[in-house]
Structure 1
Amino acid sequence: MNEQRAGLAYGFAAYGMWGLFPLFWPLLEPAGAGEILAHRMLWSLIVACVILLALRRWSWIPGVLRQPKRMAAIALASTVISINWGIYIWGVNSGYVVETALGYFINPLVSIAFGVVLLRERLRPFQWAAVGIGASAVVVLAIGYGRPPWIALALAFSFGTYSLVKKKVGLDGVESFAAETSVQFLPALAYLLFMGSQGESTFTSEGVGHTLLLASAGAVTAVPLIAFGASAVRLPLSTIGLMQYLAPTFQFLIGLAVFHESMPPERWAGFALVWLALALLTWDALRTAGQGRRQAAALRAQQAAAPAGDTDADAEATASKDALRP
């Protein structure tokens, strides 16, 4: 029970911090999105190195360096998440907070679509229905915005790609964060040095407070990620799946209440369809997980009740196991 409570606390902290990001990035102005992104990359590696040093977790590095394919996957993941970060920072600071929230609402639907198209996964009927409703929502939102919701789609597809690539990387949270930011470090440093040579950097020209805020971008990136890792090892996947909607919900509310973004009826209709699709998806996942637990419990009870050497019971148990396999 204590572990579950700690997991919930860490999870709320992680998603709460992610949900409050729209309040942080505008504080870094007059720095542009490119400069903010570069500082986020640069200082994130420094924070990652401090964490690894404190935990003494260096042993994984030689193994990764001996695997070119794994290093290529890390480089690809780093590139994709950099694109995601850049679009998100630009979207928030350009007044599209609600649309950035939409991107993370539809991300689970994009991940399902990737599973079907790229991994040849089979969908259950309710999952197909959720994807269809999500596609309809994009059409409705395109009408409401007068254009396709490009920011939301770019965020959803880039993060979906990032999640897909990370499966091939196979590193834990802190190690993965350190590996990806090590790829980002040199391009970020080169960009910042170039900006400084052109007199366009704001790092030292806007006061000490501005300098400290830019430097804090690394910690702001790392802390919720660490909290999420601590939550993920303490909570069931189904609980984590439900909590993932907290961050875009906070972002959506901030867009409405703090930044006073307009929400005409067409946009409300589009968001309502997205939420309907997510509700359907969540219900189906919980229902399927419950069925799996009941079948597993029945199988254990059957095995416990069967006498030793009962070949009929053994055969029946084996058949039940086969039924549980995907």
Structure 2
Amino acid sequence: MSASSETVASPAPGLHPEFATGALYAVLAYLTWGLMPAYWKLVPELSAPELIAHRVVWSVFVTGALVLAFRRGRELRATLTDTRRLGVLLVTALLVSVNWLVFVWAVLNGHVLESSLGYFINPLFNVLLGVLLLKERLRPLQGLAVALAAAGVLNQGWQLQALPWISLALAASFGAYGLIRKLAPIEPLVGLTVETLLLAPLALAGLLWLDAQGLGHFGHGTPARDLIIIGAGLITALPLLWFANAAKRLRFSTLGFFQYLAPSVQLMLAVLAYGEAFTAVHAVTFGCIWAALALYTWDGRRALRIA
């Protein structure tokens, strides 16, 4: 996903209409992603695989309607007939489904705090992927930031005698997803539509099997619960659309500041709303991650000023 440069027409870019609109879209996207655990907890009786299957199936309808509304049908047809793009999107569809599955499982099983750690780690994991796979070079302070983040993860594993697999799985799956989409750029809405279309047959088959076994929940409860399940499609597609609109109006470096809103909201939900314990071990781990993010961000802005 690419972002065009911000339009700057005055000495105070924060007051420029394009900047304000882009910032609003970014807040909407990341705030929705941050509050998503609260949405999934509205239907705790559904398992993570069933919720993900519904998320895929209903997203097909939402993204299909958006493709029609924004007249992206030609791009969709071109992508569906391009075997190379389909191969790329099949891989990204599998990666994003793993990310969704781990995240929803974590939420339903009381691990919102660990999932928020995963999304704090994600930007620095992206940096590591760039170094290892794209041969990008780090400045000294950037290398120190990555080392600090690694120290935080190792502290968590050492103190608890187990690696934070939820955090690492979320960071790795979403980081790999972002890297592949960066190397093979495909319009966000069209890409998500094709990804959900590729996953839909398996998801629909799973839901039909659950229903045949008497284990399905859709249509067997209250209308309110059915509406929440259908809404999974909306909360999947709309934040991505808002993110795409933000990326068109803001510099990607500016957009990066907003990405910490989602895990911050998840962290507050975990501790304040769901009563998950924030221990001394968590304080050290999160402290290392936050220090790494602050150092990396400061170094990036300093380099931009010098440039």
Conserved 8 A contact 1:74-1:169: no
Measured after TM superposition, the shift of residue 172 of structure 1 is 1.6
Question: d(CA) in 2 for partners of 1:39 and 1:290?
Answer: 47
Contact 1:13–1:224 (8 Å) recurs in 2: yes
Q: Does 1:234 align with 2:249?
A: yes
2:7: which partner in 1?
A: none
Is structure 2 residue 167 aligned with structure 1 residue 166? Answer: no
Structure 2: distance between partners of 1:254 and 1:29: 16
In structure 2, the partner of 1:285 is 300
Contact kept in structure 2, 1:44 and 1:219, CA below 8 Å: yes
Alignment of 1:251-270 (within 5 A): 251-270=266-285
The CA distance in 1 between the partners of 2:224 and 2:50, in whole Å, is: 16
- The 1-side partners of 2:81 and 2:218 are apart by 37
Whether 1:178 and 2:186 are equivalent positions in the alignment is: no
Q: 2:99 aligns with which of 69, 84, 105?
A: 84
Q: Secondary structure at the match of 1:30?
A: coil
How far residue 66 of structure 1 moved from its aligned partner, in angstroms, is: 3.8
User: Unaligned stretches of 5+ in structure 1?
Assistant: 293-326
Equivalent residues of 2:80, 2:194 under 8 A apart: no
The partner residue of 1:115 within 130, 136, 148 is 130
Provide the rounded CA distance (Å) in 2 between the counterparts of 1:111 and 1:66. Answer: 30
Hey, what does 2:146 align to over in structure 1? Answer: 131
Contact 1:7 1:231 in 2 (8 A): yes
- Structure 2 residue ranges without an equivalent (≥5): 1-15
Q: How many residues align?
A: 292
- 1:145 Cα deviation from its structure 2 partner: 3.2
Which residue number corresponds to residue 109 of structure 2?
Answer: 94
Deviates more, 1:195-204 or 1:96-105: 195-204
1:25 paired residue among 34, 40, 43: 40
Give the conservation status (yes or no) of the 8 Å contact 1:10–1:231: yes
Quote the RMSD (CA, aligned, Å): 1.1
CA deviations over 1:236-255 (Å, ceiling 9, x no partner)? 11210111001000000110
| Matched-pair identity in % | 37
- Structure with larger RCO (C-alpha < 8 A, sep 6+): 2
Measured against aligned partners, the alpha-carbon deviations of 1:256-299 in whole angstroms (never above 9, x if no partner) come to: 1001111211110111001001111111111112222xxxxxxx
Alignment pair present for 1:154 and 2:169: yes
C-alpha distance in structure 2 between counterparts of 1:102 and 1:196, whole Å: 35
Distance 1:163 1:281, change over 3 A: same
Work out the CA distance in 2 between the residues paired with 1:233 and 1:149: 35
For residue 170 of structure 2, give the secondary structure of its aligned residue in structure 1: helix
TM-score by length of 2: 0.93
Mark the CA change 1:66 to 1:168 in structure 2 (over 3 Å): closer, same or farther: farther
Is the Cα contact below 8 Å between 1:10 and 1:230 reproduced in 2? yes
Which consecutive segments of 4 or more residues in structure 1 shift more than 4 A? none
AA in 1 matched with 2:275 = H
- The superposition leaves residues 194-234 of structure 1 with CA deviations (integer Å, 9 ceiling, x where unpaired) of 11111110112222111111111000111111111111111
Deviation at 1:85, TM superposition (A): 0.3
Per-residue deviation at 1:138?
A: 0.6
Equivalent residues of 1:103, 1:156 under 8 A apart: yes
Question: What is aligned with 1:272?
Answer: 287
Deviation, 1:152, is: 0.2
Q: Secondary structure at the match of 1:203?
A: coil
Check if 1:71 corresponds to 2:86: yes
Output the TM-score relative to the length of structure 1: 0.87
- Map Cα deviations across residues 108-151 of structure 1 (whole Å, 9 max, x no partner): 11111111111111111111101111111011111343311000
Q: Distance in 2 between matches of 1:254 and 1:67?
A: 42
Contact 1:143–1:266 (CA under 8 A) maintained in structure 2: no
Alignment of 1:304-315 (within 5 A): none
CA distance in 2, matches of 1:161, 1:32: 25
Give the aligned residue type for 1:123.
Answer: L
Aligned equivalent of 2:12: none
When structure 1 is superposed on structure 2, of 165-174 and 28-37 the one drifting more is: 165-174
Equivalence for 2:157: 142
Q: Is the partner of 2:296 in helix, strand or coil?
A: helix
Offset at residue 61 of structure 1 (A): 2.7
Contact 1:87 1:151 in 2 (8 A): yes
